[in-house]
């Protein structure tokens, strides 16, 4: 009987990478314990044939949309300057105000919330070039701000008997012409929460993605 021909180095490397990615997805989805994951990852790096690599993932569930990391979202689209208002005022008094989907924020928005709620979703918004400002005053109310990963956020608010969960700061290496969302305000007995989500991503899916990204950053290297 003739011996089985060796697997080409390139194909074996690709198979190894596919196996490692499958192990990462399963670990992020809590389908593998830490010790089991580290053991399989170490064996994946040491495996010399495709069969042993396949055996490492043969008992794992097939990946689903929830366990596959989402692709980074592009930066928000720019709105034509002539379509952008200079100023606007929105108010939620014992009620709520919401902006989501495809919309174009004014260059400067003043939001007043009194015993109510504010929900601004910028994931599909068309921002003007440069800085878009949102100044929030909330009394016994709250605001939820959702931004896409590609959007630069400057957050500088004050909360008294409340909370202001600051969002991602400016990236020093970012394009100076990229849109910037600047959030300021005063919160009295209320709260502001700034969340980063992919387009179409729910709060629950965002938590899973963040947990997966954190685990990926903590992965042990070969032979560690």
pLDDT tens per residue, range 18-35: 887 787 777 777 787 777
Asked if residue 53 lies in contact with residue 16, where contact means CB atoms within 8 angstroms, the answer is yes
Which pLDDT score, from 0 to 100, does residue 56 have? 87
Q: What is the largest CA-CA distance in the chain?
A: 83
- pLDDT grade, residue 121 (50/70/90)? very high
The region of weakest confidence among 3-17, 42-56, 143-157, 187-201 is 3-17
pLDDT in tens, 45-104: 888 888 888 888 888 887 654 444 444 445 556 666 657 788 999 888 888 888 888 888
pLDDT tens per residue, range 184-214: 888 888 888 888 887 777 777 777 777 776 6
| Predicted local confidence at residue 175, as pLDDT | 61
Rounded to two decimals, the pTM is 0.56
Res. 1: pLDDT tops 50: no
Distances from the Cα of 210 to the Cα of 101, 152, 161, 206, 207, angstroms:
23, 18, 29, 6, 5
Q: What is the mean pLDDT of residues 124-131?
A: 85
* For residue 133, pLDDT beyond 90: yes
Residue 115 pLDDT exceeds 60: yes
What is the C-alpha radius of gyration for the chain, rounded to an integer number of angstroms? 24
Give 166 or 182, the one with higher predicted confidence.
182
Instruction: Give pLDDT, residue 66.
Output: 47
Q: List CB contacts of 62: < 8 A, sequence separation 6 or more.
A: none
DSSP 8-class letter at 54 = H
Q: Is the pLDDT of residue 110 over 50?
A: yes
User: Which of 13-22, 132-141, 214-223: highest mean pLDDT?
Assistant: 132-141
Kindly state the tokens that stand for 90.
């929105």
105 in Cβ contact with 76 (< 8 Å): no
CA distances for 218 relative to 23, 34, 103, 126, 163, angstroms: 14, 11, 38, 35, 30
145-156 CB burial, b ≥16 within 10 A, e <16: bbbbbbbbbbbe
Who's near 133: CB < 8 A, 6+ residues apart?
Answer: 107, 108, 109, 182, 184
pLDDT, residue 80, reads: 61
Q: Which residues contact 19 (CB under 8 A, 6 or more apart)?
A: 44, 47, 53, 54, 56, 57
**Residue found by looking up tokens 């034509």 in the block:** 80
Is residue 16 within 8 A of residue 42, CB to CB? The reply is no
């Amino acid at each position: 009987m003739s011996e089985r021909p060796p697997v080409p180095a390139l194909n074996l490397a690709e198979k190894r990478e596919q196996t490692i990615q499958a192990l990462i997805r399963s670990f992020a989805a809590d389908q593998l314990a830490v010790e089991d994951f580290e053991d399989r990852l170490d064996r994946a790096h040491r495996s010399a044939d495709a069969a042993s690599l396949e055996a490492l993932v043969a008992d794992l569930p097939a990946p689903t949309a929830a366990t596959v990391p989402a692709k980074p979202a592009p930066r928000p689209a720019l709105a034509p300057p002539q379509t952008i208002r200079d100023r606007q005022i929105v108010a939620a008094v014992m009620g709520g105000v919401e902006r989501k989907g495809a919309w174009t924020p004014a260059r400067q928005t003043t939001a007043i919330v009194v015993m109510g709620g504010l929900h601004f979703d910028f994931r599909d918004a068309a921002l003007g070039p440069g800085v878009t400002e949102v100044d929030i005053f909330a009394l016994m109310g709250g605001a939820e701000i959702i931004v896409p990963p590609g959007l630069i956020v400057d957050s500088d608010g004050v909360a008294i008997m409340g909370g202001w969960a600051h969002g991602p700061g400016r990236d020093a290496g970012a394009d100076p012409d990229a849109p910037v969302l600047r959030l300021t305000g005063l919160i009295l007995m209320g709260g502001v929460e700034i969340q980063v989500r992919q387009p179409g991503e729910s709060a629950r899916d965002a938590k899973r993605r963040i947990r997966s990204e954190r685990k990926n950053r903590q992965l042990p290297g070969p032979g560690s």
